[in-house]
């Protein structure tokens, strides 16, 4: 048996179509156009690719896209001043500062300078705290996309054993919070977890987010498990995930490929969060089918 490939690319395309329809309705019925501001500091090649893709997909969804590029030697105060202006700009409903930032800039201070209601990445302390305590929050885009794929594949996640490999603030911790809210039994594993393969073998759901190419082997996977591979690692063989796809696909029931799995969902969820932020700021109901 070979696992079913979970088509994140196709799911994301359908999602972007629903977003575009709701953006068009928002313009027609209320005269409002959601706006996303993306801030890029420096000239990191991977970041430039991501920013271009975000701009293109934002425009295709009918939203306004505002790009702000600062040189790599821009000061922290310059960046904070820009965020202050974007916080006050009524045309901007979502603000994303592309990470990583140059080493002389304090990432946490920059992230927490973003207005909570415009924090479409869900990285501020306020949104992270709301998510962790089960309150309405902006949910980080990658974990949100992972959860949507899991719900689509499995339906009810109640009682499932889930292992999240990785404890980052961007993916691991919010992913664990989302799965807990779905009534799964969640283990957060990491580099210091004892006998990691044995821990993973207990899981009905495995979410791998460690940034190590092919780390999770097929013999770590419980037969019939669902595997979500968040890793995007550039190697001599091209882009690969954190899971050894070929061996894992022989054991799992379903698995996301890399590329074409979680990656497209991240940008689709960014657009969804921007639309959600716009609706909330204008006293309208949340967009249909795009929030938790």
Note if 217 is an active site residue: no
- Whether 59 and 35 have beta carbons less than 8 Å apart is answered as no
Lowest mean pLDDT among 36-50, 73-87, 149-163: 36-50
The verdict on whether 118 is a catalytic residue reads: no
> Is the pLDDT reported for residue 1 higher than 80?
no
Contacts 24+ apart (CB under 8 A), 129-137: 131/174, 131/177, 131/178, 132/173, 132/177, 134/181
Catalytic residue among 54, 160, 173, 222: 54
C-alpha to C-alpha distances, 216 to 101, 153, 189, 264, 265, nearest whole angstrom: 29, 21, 12, 22, 22
Which domains, from first to last, does the chain contain? 29-121 (3.40.50.10860), 141-263 (3.40.50.720)
Tens of pLDDT, residues 130-183: 999 999 999 999 999 999 999 999 999 999 999 999 999 999 999 999 999 999
Out of 119, 121, 204, 242, which one is annotated catalytic?
121
- Across the chain, the runs of DSSP E, i.e. the strands, are 4-5, 35-41, 64-70, 94-97, 161-165, 185-189, 205-208, 226-229, 233-235, 238-240, 254-255
How many Cβ atoms from other residues are within 10 Å of residue 285's Cβ? 8
pLDDT at 237: 85
Strands 233-235 and 238-240, how do they pair?
A: antiparallel
Q: Which long-range contacts (CB under 8 A, 24 or more apart) does 130-134 make?
A: 131/174, 131/177, 131/178, 132/173, 132/177, 134/181
Residue 45 pLDDT: 87
Q: Cis omega (within 30 of 0) on the bond before 100?
A: yes
Structure confidence at residue 292 as a pLDDT band (50, 70, 90): confident
Tens-digit pLDDT profile for residues 207-246: 999 999 999 999 999 999 999 999 999 899 899 999 999 9
Q: Please, which residues have CB within 8 angstroms of residue 159's CB and are 6 or more apart in sequence?
A: 183, 184, 185
What average pLDDT is seen over the chain? Answer: 96
User: CA-to-CA distance for 240 and 219, rounded, in angstroms?
Assistant: 18
Distance CA 269, CA 266 (A): 5
The answer to whether 91 is a known catalytic residue is: no
Residues ≥6 apart with Cβ < 8 Å to 22 = 275, 287, 288, 290
Query: Where residue 186 falls among pLDDT bands split at 50, 70, 90?
Result: very high
Percent of the chain with pLDDT over 70: 100
CA–chain centroid gap for 138, Å, is 11
The full DSSP string for 46-97 is: HHHHHHHHHHHHHHHTT-EEEEEEE-TT--HHHHHHHHHHHHH-TT--EEEE
94 beta partners = 36
This prediction has a pTM of: 0.96
Q: How many helices (H) and strands (E) does the chain have?
A: 10, 11
Q: Which of 59-92 are b and which e, b meaning 16 or more Cβ less than 10 Å from the residue's Cβ?
A: eebbbebbebebeeebebeebeebbeebbeeeeb
Among 98, 119, 204, 244, which one carries the catalytic annotation?
A: 98
Provide the pLDDT for residue 291. 87
What per-residue confidence (pLDDT) applies to 277?
A: 98
């Amino acid at each position: 048996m070979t696992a079913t490939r979970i088509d994140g690319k196709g799911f994301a395309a359908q999602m972007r179509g629903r977003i575009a329809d709701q953006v068009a309705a928002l313009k027609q019925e209320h005269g409002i156009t959601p706006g996303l501001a993306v801030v890029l500091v420096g000239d990191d090649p991977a970041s430039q690719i991501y920013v271009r893709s975000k701009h293109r997909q934002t425009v295709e969804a009918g939203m306004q896209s505002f790009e702000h590029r600062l040189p790599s030697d821009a000061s922290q105060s310059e960046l904070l001043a820009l965020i202050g202006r974007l916080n006050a700009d009524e045309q901007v409903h979502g603000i994303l500062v592309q990470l990583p930032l140059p080493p002389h800039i304090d990432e946490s201070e920059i992230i927490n300078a973003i207005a909570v209601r415009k924090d479409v990445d869900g990285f501020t302390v306020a949104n992270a705290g709301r998510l962790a305590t089960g309150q309405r929050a902006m949910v980080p885009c990658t974990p949100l996309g992972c959860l949507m794929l899991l719900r689509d594949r499995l339906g009810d996640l109640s009682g499932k054993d889930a292992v999240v490999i990785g404890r980052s603030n961007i993916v691991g911790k919010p992913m664990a919070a989302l799965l807990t809210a779905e009534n799964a039994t969640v283990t957060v594993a990491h580099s210091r977890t004892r006998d990691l393969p044995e821990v993973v073998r207990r899981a009905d759901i495995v979410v791998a987010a460690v940034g190590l190419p092919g780390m999770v082997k097929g013999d770590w996977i419980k037969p019939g498990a669902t595997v979500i591979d968040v890793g995007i690692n550039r190697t001599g063989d091209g882009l690969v995930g954190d899971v050894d796809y070929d061996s894992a696909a022989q054991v799992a029931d379903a698995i996301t490929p890399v590329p074409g799995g979680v990656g497209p969902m991240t940008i689709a969820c960014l657009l969804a969060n921007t639309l959600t932020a716009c609706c909330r700021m204008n006293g309208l109901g949340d967009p249909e089918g795009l929030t938790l």
